[in-house]
Structure 1
Amino acid sequence: MKLLGISGTILGAKTAILVEKVLHAARENHSNIEVEMLDLRHYNVQFCDGRDPSFYNEDTQKVIEIVSQADFYLIGSPIFNGSMPAPLKNLFDLIPPSVFRYKVMGFVANGGTYQHYLVVENQLKPIVGYLRAYVAPSYVYANTNHFNHENEIVDEDVLERIQNLANELVHMQQGLKERKTYII
């Protein structure tokens, strides 16, 4: 089973740090899973315009392939102006919805205030519903105060929620895989 962590922004470091922390916890607590990180800062992903994927640049094709090969997902999003960033929305638009169907998705997000966690509830979770994926009930939201000046997560509650989310994602995916309750 491959857990793909996606840092859905091309700016800043905090989102990737959160995603990496959850992937690290999943790998440490569950040696039977493979983890991979997809950091959009390292790719030149083209804007989705509906063309056949073979006509996009190499980076865009590679990102589509990486996402398509994963068994379950951890999506990381910064919150900009009360919304998800365009690179993450573009990624959702590039990937055929069937890729996500009946797969588990969890979320980490970061923003400047305590209130921005609502973007997970009001924007990200509804997208998962549209894609017919299974959404992990828990998620981790961290704001600027949860990091120190070196961008290390220092809030103990956030660190505990990271551990819990990692375990929840793996537990859900294993349960679905064992039961093969997919409805097609």
Structure 2
Amino acid sequence: MKLLGISGTITGSKTEIAVQKVLNNAREFYPDLDIEFLNLKHYHLQFCDGRDPATYTGDTKKVIDTICQADFYVIGTPIFQGSFTGALKNLFDLLPVTALRNKVVGFVATGGTFQHYLVIENQLKPIMGYFRSYVAPGYVYVNDNHFNEKKEIIDQDVITRMAHLAEEVVFMQKALKMPLQHVQFAG
């Protein structure tokens, strides 16, 4: 199973640090996972113009292909002006509608005010509904106060929730791939 972490911003480093923390937890708990990290700041993505995603070239094609080939995801974004980044929105617009279908997505967001955690609930989760993805319920919001001056996450509750998110996305993805004859239904 391939877990792909995505830092959905072209600025700053806190989102990258947060996503990497979740990926490191997943690697520690499940050493057999194939884990890859995609940082949007290292790619020059074209703006979505409505064409067939298969016709893009260069970095845009590479990023689309990388996302389509992954089995499940941890996606991070900073929250700017009460919303996720334009870079991440453009990425979602570039993807084929089937790219994330029946795949698990866990979210990590960073921001300066505590109210910004609602962006995950009110904006990102509905987009994943459109993609027909399964969203891990234990998303993590990391406020600026949860970092020290070296940009290390120091809040123990946040660190614990990141570990739980790593376990949750793997658990959900494994459960989704389990043959139905192994699933027991109540009733």
Indicate the SS of the match to 2:136.
strand
The whole-number CA distance in structure 1 between the counterparts of 2:31 and 2:20 is: 16
- Matched with 2:75 is 75
Offset, 1:12: 0.4
Q: Once the two structures are superposed, what CA deviation does each residue of 1:72-116 show, in whole Å capped at 9, x if it has no partner?
A: 011101000000110101111111111111100010000001110
- Give the drift of 1:31: 1.5
Distance (whole Å) between structure 1 residues aligned to residue 169 and residue 62 of structure 2: 25
Counterpart amino acid of 1:92? F
**Aligned equivalent of 1:161:** 161
* 3-state DSSP of counterpart to 1:107: strand
Could you tell me how far apart the structure 2 residues matched to 1:64 and 1:26 are?
A: 23
Query: Could you tell me which residue of structure 1 aligns to residue 171 of structure 2?
Result: 171
Structure 1 residues 180, 35: closer, same or farther in 2, change over 3 A?
Answer: farther
Partner letter of residue 119 of structure 2?
V
Q: Does 1:103 align with 2:118?
A: no
**SS of the counterpart of 2:98?**
helix
Change in CA separation of 1:180 and 1:36 when aligned onto 2, cut-off 3 Å: farther
After superposition, residues 1-184 of structure 1 pair within 5 angstroms as: 1-53=1-53, 55-179=55-179
TM-score by length of 1: 0.95
SS at match of 1:17: helix
**Aligned letter for 1:82?**
G
Match of 2:184 in 1: none
- For structure 1, the 5+ residue unaligned runs are none
C-alpha distance in structure 2 between counterparts of 1:64 and 1:180, whole Å: 30
CA-to-aligned-CA distance 1:114-156 (integer Å, 9 cap, x gap): 1100000000000011111101011110010000111110110
CA RMSD in angstroms comes to: 1.2
User: C-alpha offsets along residues 35-85 of structure 1, whole Å, 9 cap, x if unaligned?
Assistant: 100000000001000223454340101000100100001110100000011
Task: Give the superposition deviation at 1:18.
Answer: 0.5
**1:177 alignment partner AA:** K
What CA distance in whole angstroms lies between the structure 1 residues aligned with 2:132 and 2:54?
25
Local SS of the residue matching 1:138: coil
SS of corresponding position for 1:46 = coil
Task: Sort the Cα spacing of 1:64 and 1:9 in 2 relative to 1 into closer, same or farther, 3 A.
Answer: same
Number of aligned positions between the proteins: 181
**Identical-residue share of aligned pairs (%):** 61
